[in-house]
Chain A
Amino acid sequence: MIPESMTDLMGVWVAGFLTLCVLSFLFKDNVLFKLMEALYVGVSVGYGVALTWHTGLYPKVVVPFADFVRHVDKKQAQDWIWAVYMLLSIGIGMMFLPRLTGEKHAWLSRFPMAYSMGVGTGMGLPLAIQTFILAQVNKALIPLVVVVNGQINWWASLGNCTITLGTLSVLYYFFFSLKKTDVVSRGLSKVGIAYLMFAFGASFAYTIMARISLLIGRVAFLKDDWIGGTLGFFGFM
Chain B
Amino acid sequence: MIAPVSKPLVFWQRHYRHIIYVLVFLCVLLPMFLPVKLRVNVSPPTRNVFNAVDTLAAARHDAITNLEAMIAATTNRTGIARLKERLDRLRMNTNGVLMLSCDFAPDTAPELEPMAVAILRHAFARNVRVLALTPSTVTGVQLAEKIIGVAARQSTNLYSARVDGRDYLFLGFRPNMFQLLMAMGENISHAYVTDNAGRDLATQPFMRGIQNYNDIDLIVSITGYTGVPEMWIQVAHTRNKRPLGFGFTAVGVTDYYPYLHSKQIIGLLAGLRGAAEYEIASGLPDAACGRMFSQFCSHLLVIVLVIVGNIEFIYYRRRTR
Contact = CB atoms under 8 A, between A and B. Distances in A.
Contacts of A181: none
Contact of A128 (B141, B179, B234, B251): B234
Interface string A107-142: 000000000000010011001101110011011000
Which of A56, A131, A211 lies at the interface centre, i.e. has the most chain B CB atoms within 10 A of its CB? A131
A215 B27 CA distance: 11
Which of B24, B179, B251, B291 lies at the interface centre, i.e. has the most chain A CB atoms within 10 A of its CB? B251
Contact of B178 (A120, A218, A220): A120
Contacts of A223: 29, 32
A123 B239 CA distance: 11
A199 B254 contact: yes
Contacts of B202: none
B125 interface: no
A27 B22 CA distance: 11
B21 interface: yes
B166 interface: no
A139 B261 contact: yes
B141 A208 contact: no
Given A128-B234, A223-B29, A123 B272 contact: no
B182 interface: yes
A81 interface: no
Interface in B168-223: 172-175, 178-179, 182, 193-194
Nearest to A200: B254
Contacts of B25: 215, 219
A192 B294 CA distance: 36
Given A44-B139, A217-B110, A217-B111, A59 B263 contact: no
Which of A124, A130, A215 lies at the interface centre, i.e. has the most chain B CB atoms within 10 A of its CB? A215
Nearest to B139: A44
Overall SS of chain B's interface: helix
B271 interface: yes
Contact of A47 (B138, B261, B270): B138
Nearest to B171: A55
Contact of A219 (B32, B113, B253, B270): B32
Contact of B24 (A55, A120, A215): A215
A67 B287 CA distance: 48
Nearest to A127: B234
Interface residues of A, number: 43
Which of B233, B250, B287 lies at the interface centre, i.e. has the most chain A CB atoms within 10 A of its CB? B250
A80 interface: no
Contact of B250 (A47, A124, A138, A210): A210
Contacts of A60: 193
A172 to B, nearest CB: 18
Contacts of A217: 109-111, 113, 291
B175 A55 contact: yes
A210 B178 contact: no
A83 to B, nearest CB: 17
A10 interface: no
A30 interface: no
B299 A212 contact: yes
Contacts of A219: 25, 28-29, 32, 294
A206 B29 contact: no
A138 B111 CA distance: 33
Contacts of A44: 138-139
A124 to B, nearest CB: 7
A153 interface: no
A26 interface: yes
B102 interface: no
Interface in A28-70: 44, 47-48, 51-52, 55-56, 59-60
A210 B151 CA distance: 24
Interface of A: 26-27, 44, 47-48, 51-52, 55-56, 59-60, 120, 123-124, 127-128, 130-132, 135-136, 138-139, 163, 199, 202-203, 206-220, 223
Interface of B: 18, 21, 24-25, 28-29, 32, 107-111, 113, 138-139, 141, 172-175, 178-179, 182, 193-194, 230, 233-235, 237-239, 249-254, 258, 261-264, 270-273, 287, 291, 294-295, 298-299, 302
5 contacts: A128-B234, A135-B264, A199-B254, A210-B250, A216-B110
Closest 7 CB pairs of A and B: A217-B110, A139-B262, A210-B251, A210-B250, A213-B272, A127-B234, A48-B138
